[in-house]
Amino acid sequence: MYDIAVTIIVGLVMFIGLLGAIVPGFPDIVLIWGAALGYGLYMGWGERGIWLFGLISLLGLAGLFTELWVSGTGAKMGGASIRAIFAGIALGFVALLLSGPVGGVIGLLLGTYLAEYVRLQDANKAAQAMLGMGLGCGASFGIKLILGLGMAVVWVVWVVMG
């Protein structure tokens, strides 16, 4: 009975993690990974569990790396400088803490725009860099969702195989 309840709770936590891949600022890949870790620690690793958890961990690391790399690559393709990318990330983080997920996205885009505008004194090029950052963030959300789904599927295989 407890095993079923734990499995359902872990599945719900993973579902919340998948929602986090769509909604900026919500925990996502890390929450899914933590749920899988908790499942392994509580239910036991079994014969294949440690290997499947290793695969879940690799997918999670790929998701974390993707989030930073794809967003930055989108900004670079839009013409943003490294300084503008870091300014966007910094302002986005502060805005996230002060006003939540929507503020974080707005701060990220605004920080990128302002840093590029200060550097180039060209509103069109700054807007292009901001658009690149936005497209990169959108792509990273999609990739994280796919990787998060992969993590959840591997966990389901783990549960079914025992």
Supply 11's token pair: 């599945």
The pLDDT value given to residue 46: 87
- Asked whether 133 and 75 are in contact (CB, 8 A), the reply is yes
Domain carrying residue 121: 2-161
Q: What confidence tens digit (pLDDT) does each residue in 99-126 have?
A: 887 888 899 999 999 999 999 999 999 9
Please, are residues 70 and 136 in contact by the beta-carbon 8 Å criterion?
yes
Say if CB 47 and CB 162 are below 8 A apart.
yes
CB 31 within 8 A of CB 112: no
Rounded to two decimals, the pTM is 0.81
Say how many domains are in the chain: 1
* Rounded-to-integer distance, Cα 59 and Cα 98, Å: 30
Strands (E), 6-151: none
pLDDT digits 0-9 by tens, 35-77: 999 999 999 998 899 999 999 999 999 998 887 788 888 888 9
